Structures are given as C-alpha cells and as structure tokens.
Amino acid sequence: MAKNKQEGFVTQIASRQEDFPQWYTDVIIKTEMVDYSDVRGCMVIRPYGYRVWELIQQKLDAMFKETGHQNAYFPLFIPESLLKKEAEHVEGFAPECAWVTYGGEELLTERLAIRPTSETVICSMFSRWVQSYRDLPLLLNQWCNVVRWEKNTRPFLRTSEFLWQEGHTAHETLEEAQAETMQQLMTYRDFMENVLAIPVICGQKSEKEKFAGAHATYTLEAMMQDGKALQMGTSHNLSDHFAKAYDIQYLSKEGKLAHCYTTSWGVSTRMIGGMIMVHGDDRGLVMPPRVAPIQVVVLPIAMHKEGVLDKANEIMNTLKAAGLRVKLDDRDQSPGWKFNEWEMKGVPVRVEIGPRDIENGQVVAVRRDSLEKMTLPMDGLADTLIQLLDDVHEGMFKKALRFREEKTVNASTFEELEAGVQTGFVRANWCGDRECEDTIKAKTGATTRCMPFDGPDADPGSRCVCCGRPAKHHFYFAKAY
C-alpha cells in the first residue's frame, strides 16, 4: 500500500501500478464520492459525487436544448407485453431485467419490467403523438434512473441501478435519423473532451456489440490508466425497426402512411468512474475544473494572525463573484492536513494566503494536476485563476491523450494482438466474421471496441489478424470494463 507521507495524513490509498481496482475503490470511498448500500449492486452517491453529476447534467442539458431537444419523463415500469414487441430488443435485455410480480399482496396479471432502457415505453407514446409529417422531428430527452441486474458490479462503472440521460427522437427519413445519431455522438465527444478532459475514440460498433434492436450503434471509447477501455456513451440509429414494432406511422406530405425512423442515445454516471480512472493519481482524485464541485480552495495560513482570515474571506468572495466555485477552509487543522485532504479530493487549484503574502500583495497557488506551485498577485486574481483553470484542463487532456497514444499499438498477427491488449489498445485488421470476434475474446479477453471514424478501413490485400482471410475492417480491440 502506498502511503502519503505528508503531515496529518492517516488514510491509505493502494498503488495504481500494483492494484488499480483497489486504488479505484479506495479513492471513491475515501473522498466520499460514494458508499455501498444495503442493496446488492447499488451505490449511494454522496454529496461530493452527486455535485459532479449535477454539473454534468447542467452542462449536457444545455447542449441538448441548443439542438432543439426537450425534456420529458416516462414511467419506470414497462409491461412485459410491451417489452416483447421488438424481439431482438427483449432478447438482448432479458438477462438484465428486474421484474415486479406483486402489487402489495396481489399477484399482478402481467409482469412489469423495471426500466432497463426506455425505447419500448417511449415508442408506444410516439405512436400516439406522431400522426402527421408536421409532428416530426420529435426530439425528446429524459433524465432518470434505470435498473439492470448486473452480476459483477463496481460503483459508477457498473451498478444494478444507475443514473443517466436517454434521448429518443423520431424522423421522416433514415438519412435524418442518421444525421441525428451522429449529431448527438459529436455532442458527447465535445462534452467528453472539452468538459471532462477525456480524449475519446469515436466509431461504429460491430454487429455483435451493437445495441439490441438497432440498425447501427456508434460509441465513444476512452482508455483508463490500466490500459482497459471504457465505453463512455453510445448513440443508436434504430432505423424503422421500433417504428414498425410499435406502429409509429404518420401521414406524409404526399398523403401516404409511412413509418418513422427513430434514434436513441445515452450517457450515465459511468462517466464519473471514467473521469476518476483517466485522471486520478496516487494522491487521489484529479478533478477536471469544469465539473469540479470545488474549483478553488482558499487556505489561510497562520489564520490566528490579525487580518489573515479577513483577507482569505475577501479573496473567497471576490472569486465567487467572478463565477468560480470556491471554498474557504478555516477549520482548526494544520495546513499539511488540509493540503492532503484537498489534494485527495482533487480540487484543481489551492490558494494559500498568509501574513507575508498579505504584505507582498500576493498568494501562493498550487495546481492539482501537476502540483506546480506559483506566486500570483492579488490584483486581478480572479481572471488569473480562470485562465489557470483552463490551463489545467488543457494539461489534463493532453496528458490523457499522450498516455493513450503511448499505449496503443498496431498488430498484424494474432500474437501481436494478444500481447498488445495486455497493456492497452490494439488497432488491427479484421474479416468482420463473428467467429473470429468470438475467438479473439475467448483467447485474449479483448473485444471489438469500434471501427473508428478517423482511421483507415482495411487496406486492399490486408489480412484478418485472427484467421488470415481478406480483411474488411480496421478495428480497435481492447479489454474493457
């Protein structure tokens, strides 16, 4: 176990290099992000963790509204008969469904699924609301919880109940549905990279890995510090599959009945787990400034000295007025103890102010991402810190991108693929056959992550990394959460 030696630090965090899963658990528990509940596989999101989710909601919700989407809410319970209308969909989710069979002491005449996803219940409502081409496009989103009865759980990453948003839209044509699917995928990419500071690979899922009932599924894949992939979000073009199953028809401009084309897309609290595993270090969390519950913590040094606490409060109020999320720590603890706590909680910038600093009209600032210490003038401090927080974001993004590039290799043989997925991502040619996909997973533990948009398809004459037959696609392979 790696122990921080600074003054007053009494808790331990496992080494990332020696035991990454234990490091993750230590960090999320000791920083009071989450706690385990009495219900198997379910987490309690504590205020510090939930504040991150609130900030994610605020920023994403504004992005959705900019593209014309409105929020709604749909029932938690889905009748079994409704779920079964789209055969591929129900087959895909059947192993994860939790069912309600009793209401009080009365046996229900029909089982109710506790929402694993909402395509079925939302499509049933779309069939009522969409009557004419004038009703299209229909662009809705909901923020809610879902339940998937997972066998192996880990807080934020995979839990039996989790929080998410799910967008659902209906369109006149397949081309419009495809444009919507890609627009929302790029909205997610913008958010991952420009808010969470996480570089992502965007691409299309294989037929095996696509969403149950979808025409095509597109994904955003991020690399964690142990080299594994985490699917950060997905966007699905559902074509007219669900529209036909749930009878979503409209009267076209030509006066003919036609089926809609629908989409769905979503991200969840899993993003918080990804954020932790991409940016954290052996001291604890490293929070991206744009979703950090506290962006700046102000620490008065020798606050028993006259004027120190007053000046610290003045600085705090100035920074708050500038729109920063700030906390003044005036607790009766040693500075070293406070340094350790706020470093562990990942606060992007620490500002220290003592008697000598006041005399010199300056403060000492420490970046959490690099632990760089600097002296800043009090004049214009708010503007300086706003710029510094942007610099922290850029530094975190570049560091994560550099790590991913260093841990990504090309493979032309099965042996190279097998070796590469032990430590990171592998790019390789693939014939596209399910049999090879299954063989790779069985022998290496890796899965197809995506066929990237920004990479070349298989070159003419190239061979599948598994079977040696002509390749059709160039894919990313990795072990994954």
Q: What is the DSSP string of 278-303?
A: HH-BTTB----GGG-S-SEEEEESST
What tokens were used for 234? 């997905």
The single residue listed with the structure tokens 């693939």 is 430
Distance of alpha carbon 280 from alpha carbon 20, whole angstroms: 11
**Alpha-carbon gap, residue 449 to 426, rounded angstroms:** 10
- Pairing mode of beta strands 161-171, 138-147: antiparallel
The pLDDT, as a whole number, for residue 222 is 98
CA distances for 401 relative to 229, 309, 412, 436, 446, angstroms: 14, 41, 24, 30, 21
Measured between its terminal Cα atoms, the distance across the chain in Å is 24
Spell 8-24 as b/e; 16+ CB within 10 A means b: ebeeebbebeeebeebb
Length of the chain: 481
pLDDT value for 89: 79
Identify the pLDDT of residue 92.
Answer: 81
Q: Which single residue is written with the structure tokens 């300056």?
A: 362
| HSE (side-chain half, CA atoms, 13 Å) at 322 | 18
pTM of the full predicted structure? 0.94
Helix (H) or strand (E) holding 402: helix 381-406
**Cα 219 versus chain centre, distance:** 12
CA dist list (Å): 450 to 129, 252, 454: 35, 36, 11
Q: How far is CA 172 from the centre of its chain?
A: 30
In this predicted structure, what is the pLDDT of residue 456? 63
Q: Which domains does the chain have, with CATH numbers?
A: 20-279 (3.30.930.10), 294-388 (3.40.50.800), 408-478 (3.30.110.30)
Instruction: To the nearest 10°, report the CA torsion of 262, 268, 273, 277.
Output: 30
* Cα–Cα distance, 203 to 219 (Å, whole number): 6
| pLDDT at res. 88 | 81
- Please give the angle made by the CA atoms of 228, 34 and 94, to the nearest 5 degrees: 60
CA distances from 384 to 7, 363, 387, 391, 412 (A): 29, 12, 5, 11, 49
Q: Are strands 138-147 and 70-71 parallel, antiparallel or unpaired?
A: parallel
Kindly report the backbone phi and psi dihedral angles of residue 225, in degrees, each rounded to the nearest multiple of 5, phi listed first: -70, -10
327 by DSSP, 3-state: which? strand
Neighbours of 57 (CB within 10 A): 13
Per-residue confidence (pLDDT) for residue 224, from 0 to 100: 98
Tell me the pLDDT of the chain (481 aa) as tens digits. Answer: 333 334 444 357 999 999 999 999 999 999 999 999 999 899 999 999 999 999 999 999 999 999 999 999 999 999 999 988 887 877 888 889 999 999 999 999 999 999 999 999 999 999 999 999 999 999 999 999 999 998 889 999 999 999 999 999 999 999 999 999 999 999 999 999 999 999 999 999 999 999 999 999 999 999 999 999 999 999 999 999 999 999 999 999 999 999 999 999 999 999 999 999 999 999 999 999 999 999 999 999 998 899 999 999 999 999 999 999 999 999 999 999 999 999 999 999 999 999 999 999 999 999 999 999 999 999 999 999 999 999 999 999 999 999 999 999 999 999 999 999 999 999 999 999 999 999 999 999 999 999 999 876 667 789 999 999 999 999 999 999 9
Q: Which ranges of 146-173 does DSSP label H, i.e. alpha helix?
A: none
Tokens representing 261?
Answer: 């084309």
Element housing 143 (H / E): strand 138-147
The residue to which tokens 């938690």 are assigned? 76
Provide the CB-side half-sphere exposure for 343 (13 A, CA).
24
